[in-house]
């Protein structure tokens, strides 16, 4: 076996000047990704980043791998075609809240439910940045933007809820500036076979500054989910999450209820109800917010199913013979 060359973050930087606004959360995500990719151990030529439109969608230009900057909302659809026909590639979709949940909502749902072997990163900053600050499908009620001078009247989507509702087999959430946690989520997502979804809370310091400060700045509000461990948070782990009858979850003081009463996180369980309840914790914002892997279950993977059918067809019918195809059915001879 030949040794793979040892790569560093620098090897994954393209020669393009990064053009996000100074202070944008995207810089931190890009740096985490470029730090993570050498650890991933996949050769550069087998990595493909596909994006739609928006600030986040510039991401592929800055990563020295194969990249495709496509059209608004369609990255998941384009990635589906690539991933379904090229099982040897590691395909990453980079999108934003408008791209994935508004114009591309349909493709997002179907890529997840099909369990296409791609990783979808959704940079959620609750605003349209590239078009200069309009409200997005994740903007909270009342958000004042250009088109909503009196506040948004559109109830927001919670990306984790949408992904779980779309039967996603892997759903996680992280924070742009938490490099260690984000890297851990990228690793977990890349290990998952099938569609992996990671919401990354990302700050747009120009049009929606501070949207997630209550978790970005206040670490005590981060409810870090770890499979098999009781769900605790707070500076000293003094608070926790308890399952209520009826399937909801609630925040409790550990001192009041005792550690044994806390919910033990199960990311691999069959049921999705508890993951869904956890995904909704902290909504409407602000409030303590879970980050980590909500759900990570094994389901048949789209490209493998598709390839298996091709192999079955070849096994039962033999490799396709064009002359046989053309001459199939009723034929007759004219002399």
Partner 1 sequence: MAKPVEQRHRVVIRFAGDSGDGMQLTGGRFASETALLGNDLSTLPDFPAEIRAPAGSLPGVSGFQIHFSDHDILTPGDAPDVLVAMNPAALKTNLRGLPNGATIIVNTDAFNDRNLQKAGYEANPLEDGSLAEFRVQPVPLTSLTIEALKEFDVSKREAERSKNMFALGLMSWLYSRPTEGTIEFLERKFAKSPEIAAANVRAFRAGYAFGETTEEFAVQYEVRPAQLAPGTYRNVTGNQALAMGLVAASVQSRLPLFLGAYPITPASGILEELARHKHFGVRTFQAEDEIAAVGAALGASFGGALGVSTSSGPGVVLKSETVGLAVALELPLVILDIQRAGPSTGMPTKPEQSDLLMVLFGRNAESPVPVLAASTPGHCFDMAIEAARIALKYRTPVYLLSDAYLANGSEPWLVPDAADLPDIAPEFATEPNDGDRYLPYVRDGATLAREWALPGTPGLEHRIGGLEKEDRTGNISYDPDNHDLMVRVRAQKVAGIAADIPEQTVDHQEGANLLVLSWGGTRGPVAAGVRDAREAGAKVAHAHLAYLNPFPRNLGGILRSYDRVLVPEMNLGQLLKLVRAEFLVDAVGFQRVRGVPFTSAELAGAIERLA
Beta strand segments in 170-329, E: 170-175, 196-201, 222-225, 232-233, 239-243, 249-253, 289-296
Site for partner 1 contains 8 (CB under 8 A): no
Kindly tell me which of 44 and 242 has the beta carbon lying closer to partner 1: 44
Kindly tell me which of 244 and 317 has the beta carbon lying closer to partner 1: 317
Site for partner 1 contains 155 (CB under 8 A): no
Helix (H, G, I), strand (E, B) or coil at 171: strand
Kindly tell me which of 110 and 280 has the beta carbon lying closer to partner 1: 110
Q: Smallest distance from the beta carbon of 158 to partner 1, in angstroms?
A: 22
Site for partner 1 contains 14 (CB under 8 A): yes
Residue numbers 276-335 binding partner 1 by CB under 8 A = 306, 309-310, 312-314, 316-320, 322-323, 325-335
Helices 302-317 & 75-85, crossing angle to 10 degrees?
A: 40
Q: What separation in angstroms does the CA of 179 have from each of 6, 10, 31, 115?
A: 21, 17, 8, 27
Kindly tell me which of 63 and 281 has the beta carbon lying closer to partner 1: 63
b/e map of 257-267 (b: 16 or more CB within 10 Å)? eeeeebbebeb
Torsion of CA 17, 20, 24, 27, to 10 degrees: -30
C-beta of residue 231 within 8 angstroms of C-beta of residue 265: yes
Q: Smallest distance from the beta carbon of 3 to partner 1, in angstroms?
A: 15
Q: Going residue by residue from 80 to 119, which x/- string records binding to partner 1, judged by CB under 8 A? A: xxxxxxx-xx----------------xx-xx---------
Q: Smallest distance from the beta carbon of 198 to partner 1, in angstroms?
A: 20
Kindly tell me which of 44 and 193 has the beta carbon lying closer to partner 1: 44
Site for partner 1 contains 68 (CB under 8 A): yes
Kindly tell me which of 110 and 242 has the beta carbon lying closer to partner 1: 110
Site for partner 1 contains 66 (CB under 8 A): yes
Distant-in-sequence, close-in-space partners of 318: CB < 8 Å, separation ≥ 6: none
Among 19, 18, 51, residue whose Cα is nearest residue 34: 18
Kindly tell me which of 79 and 172 has the beta carbon lying closer to partner 1: 79
When binding is defined by CB under 8 A, the residue of 1, 3, 22, 45 that contacts partner 1 is 45
Site for partner 1 contains 70 (CB under 8 A): yes
The region of 23-31, 38-46, 182-190, 197-205 touching partner 1 under the rule CB under 8 A is 38-46
Helix (H, G, I), strand (E, B) or coil at 92: strand
DSSP line for 27-82: HHHHHHHHHHHHHHT--GGGEEEEE-SSSGGGGGGGBSSEEEE--TT-HHHHHHHH
Q: Smallest distance from the beta carbon of 106 to partner 1, in angstroms?
A: 5
Number of residues that bind partner 1 (CB under 8 A): 60
Site for partner 1 contains 4 (CB under 8 A): no
CA atoms within 13 A on the CB side of 207: 23
Site for partner 1 contains 131 (CB under 8 A): no
Site for partner 1 contains 190 (CB under 8 A): no
Helix (H, G, I), strand (E, B) or coil at 258: coil
When binding is defined by CB under 8 A, the residue of 28, 29, 33, 48 that contacts partner 1 is 48
Q: Please state, in angstroms and rounded to a whole number, the distance separating the CA atoms of residues 311 and 313.
A: 5
Output the CA torsion sign for 79, 266, 160, 31.
negative
When binding is defined by CB under 8 A, the residue of 24, 30, 74, 136 that contacts partner 1 is 74
Site residues for partner 1 per CB under 8 A: 14, 16, 43-46, 48, 50, 53, 60-61, 64-71, 74, 77-86, 88-89, 106-107, 109-110, 306, 309-310, 312-314, 316-320, 322-323, 325-335
């Amino acid at each position: 076996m030949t040794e793979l060359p040892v790569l560093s973050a620098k090897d994954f930087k393209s020669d393009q000047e990064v053009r996000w606004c100074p202070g944008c959360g995207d810089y931190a995500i890009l740096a985490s990704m470029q730090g993570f990719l050498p650890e991933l151990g996949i050769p550069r030529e087998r990595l493909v980043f596909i994006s739609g439109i928006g600030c986040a969608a510039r991401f592929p230009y800055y990563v020295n791998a194969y990249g495709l900057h496509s059209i608004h909302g369609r990255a998941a659809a384009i990635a589906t075609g690539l991933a379904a026909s090229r099982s040897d590639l590691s395909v990453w979709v980079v999108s934003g809240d408008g791209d994935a949940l508004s114009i591309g909502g349909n493709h997002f749902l179907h890529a997840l439910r099909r369990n296409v072997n791609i990783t979808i990163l959704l940079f959620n900053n609750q605003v349209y940045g590239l078009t200069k600050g309009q409200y997005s499908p994740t903007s909270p009620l009342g958000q004042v933007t250009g088109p909503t001078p009196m506040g948004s009247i559109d109830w927001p989507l919670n990306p984790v809820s949408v992904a779980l509702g779309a039967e996603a087999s892997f759903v996680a959430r992280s924070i742009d500036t938490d490099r260690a946690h984000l890297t851990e989520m990228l690793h977990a997502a890349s290990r998952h076979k099938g569609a992996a979804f990671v919401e990354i809370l990302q700050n747009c310091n120009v049009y929606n500054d501070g949207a997630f400060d209550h978790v970005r700045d206040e670490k005590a509000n981060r409810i870090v989910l770890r499979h098999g461990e009781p769900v605790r948070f707070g500076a000293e782990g003094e608070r926790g999450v308890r399952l209520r009858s009826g399937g909801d979850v609630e925040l409790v003081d550990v001192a009041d209820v005792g550690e044994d009463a806390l919910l033990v996180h199960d990311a691999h369980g069959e049921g999705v109800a508890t993951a869904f309840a956890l995904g909704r914790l902290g909504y409407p914002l602000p409030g303590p917010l879970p980050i980590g892997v909500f759900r990570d279950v094994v389901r048949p993977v789209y490209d493998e199913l598709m390839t298996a059918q091709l192999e079955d067809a070849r096994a039962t019918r033999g490799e396709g013979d064009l002359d046989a195809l053309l001459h199939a059915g009723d034929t007759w001879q004219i002399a």
